[in-house]
Chain A
Amino acid sequence: MLLRSAEVSSLKSLGVYFLLELKVERPFESTPGQFAMVEVPGRTLMRPFSIFEVEGPYVRFLVKEKGKGTQELKRIRPGVKLKALCPLGKGFPLPEEGTKPILLAGGVGIAGLFQLAKELRRRFFQVQLLWGERGASWFPFTIVSYLLRLGVDLTLCSEDGSIGLKGLLTDLLPPFGEKNVLYACGPKEMLEALMVRVPSGVKLYLGLEERMACGVGACLSCVLQTPSGTKRVCVDGPVFERGELL
């Protein structure tokens, strides 16, 4: 059963982000890019969050405070019992040997790519990761240093130029070719720009965000119209190969 009872084991504030850790009753394995629906006390809907990291019974979520649900969740204290549905959706396919993965994270999109970076490093891939935020203060230091310790070739991009490269991540792409596989998570505008800019010969996987009610393919809240018909982001995605969407 994907329904798991969980207990909040810790919640760490990381500037505009927070790291929520749940201890789940039955540990599970997840593919990078998969997500969970997490109960938020007092709210009508559970919230979909990328699974940031899994370690035994501990599941972590890197969350950006955005609306009522995430504000409510940030106030939660260790010991509170929650229900969660996990793991959900289809994750990222791993690249073939010899290809060079490039990970592109727009803001909280890092949450969807972190597990992938970890898994790729575990398999000795060279991992190039570009992470874009508005400015220096938006980057949670803990996560940045964790990525560096993993041996990821990390480039920070900031819109205001206060750290790393200045500009939008989509304008700062490193040189790439057909030997690369691109993995992107971020705002819709960023993903749309990538679909235009990345030549069709280059593999591009996109992790989508969408509002969801059920998370399991039942309510049809998160559908996308694609050339091959209607897709549900929650079960047909959230990861799509660019060709599925164009």
Chain B
Amino acid sequence: MKEALEVSLGSLRLKTPLMPASGTFGYGDEYVRVIPYDGIGAIVTKSLSLLPREGNPPPRVHELDTGLLNSIGLENMGVMRFLSEKLPSLSVLGLPIVVSVFGETEEEFLQVVERLQGHEVIKAIELNLSCPNVKKGGTAFGTDPKSVYKLVNSTRKATSLDIWAKLPPDPFHIVEIAKAAEEGGADALTLSNTLPAMAVDVEAMKPLLGGVTGGISGKAVREIGLRIVYEVKKAVSVPLIASGGISSTEDALAFIMVGASALQLGTALFSNPLVFREISEGLLDFLKRKGISHIGELKGSIHAVVFPSLS
């Protein structure tokens, strides 16, 4: 029955369609002594830049009733330290490693990508084209279809690893941006990053985040994300990885039904560290209850309901 959740994503085969969203699971080994890794199909690391980055001033998180604001600012140890200090401990996990890559310039992106080539366990790179918490790079890349095309295409020429493009949750232009990433040569699209947002402490008369603005995640963005995956599914043929407010089996199913092949969880992990196991078990129960043999049969099923004549 366990094979019922196995999915192919480009050249990757995943035991389950569930994985952590970049930035919420550290470099991948921090949770080893904390939770069982069953239920997790792949590890997605924090975004790595060429050189170490310090990130934003505190406070870096602010909890909302419906989610979370964060302004971490892509703090990371840099790709070289990651390869020497972290990769060995990730190699023993028996899971495909997806390295999230960030650069302030196209050149920096490519320099990081080059260094990730030739390591057995690294199976894919996720281009972070959409971090709202940095001044250079980040969302600036992801909101312009031309620069998305150019960056993905240059990366395509620089690596034989699978390329996932992580795009911003721009509800008005996402289809164009997604098409640009597909044309550039992306093997999958991650939809979506956090949405730029802020909060104010009116008593103290100041912003609640040290970085002033941040990215919102969690339940607050779930339905925006659903509609984005739904629209993009109609426009591209590469697999979609959904991210944004998934915290239950029902959420996971909804994203699969609108077209996601795989799912990333982030904020949900902070209230429920067992969320990977619980959702993978929940998905199996659902399949059993509905008499469906494989999770892939549900993928995009909503489209057939909405446009029965086309299917």
A binds B: yes
- B residues near A223, Cβ cutoff 8 Å: 55, 58, 60, 75
- B residues near A190, Cβ cutoff 8 Å: none
Which partner residue on chain A sits nearest B59 by CB separation? A211
Interface residues on A, range: 20 to 34
Contact with B along A22-52 (1 / 0, CB 8 A): 0000000000000000011001111000000
Tally A-B pairs: CB < 8 A: 97
Contact A220 to B55, CB < 8 A, known contacts A1-B33, A213-B270: yes
Q: How far is the CA of A214 from the CA of B34 in the complex (A)?
A: 10
- B residues near A222, Cβ cutoff 8 Å: 58, 60
Is residue B11 contacting chain A, with contact meaning CB distance below 8 A? no
Is residue A219 contacting chain B, with contact meaning CB distance below 8 A? yes
Q: How far is the CA of A44 from the CA of B58 in the complex (A)?
A: 19
Which partner residue on chain A sits nearest B24 by CB separation? A219
Is residue B120 contacting chain A, with contact meaning CB distance below 8 A? no
B24 in contact with A214 (CB, 8 Å):
yes
- Identify whether the interface residues of B are mostly helix, strand, loop, or mixed: loop
Q: How far is the CA of A68 from the CA of B66 in the complex (A)?
A: 13
Is residue A151 contacting chain B, with contact meaning CB distance below 8 A? no
Instruction: Report the interface size for chain B: residues with CB under 8 A from the other chain.
Output: 35
Is residue A217 contacting chain B, with contact meaning CB distance below 8 A? yes
Is residue A136 contacting chain B, with contact meaning CB distance below 8 A? no
B271 in contact with A46 (CB, 8 Å):
yes
- A residues near B269, Cβ cutoff 8 Å: 214
Contact A44 to B218, CB < 8 A, known contacts A220-B72, A220-B75: yes
- Which residues 56-113 of B sit at the A interface, judged by CB distance below 8 A? 58-61, 63-68, 70, 72, 75
Contact with A along B190-202 (1 / 0, CB 8 A): 0000000000000
Is residue A166 contacting chain B, with contact meaning CB distance below 8 A? no
Is residue A216 contacting chain B, with contact meaning CB distance below 8 A? yes
- A residues near B60, Cβ cutoff 8 Å: 211, 220-223
Q: Which residues of A contact B (CB under 8 A)?
A: 1-3, 39-40, 43-46, 68-69, 83, 85, 210-214, 216-223, 225, 230
Q: Which residues of B contact A (CB under 8 A)?
A: 23-26, 30-31, 33-36, 46, 54-55, 58-61, 63-68, 70, 72, 75, 218-219, 267, 269-274
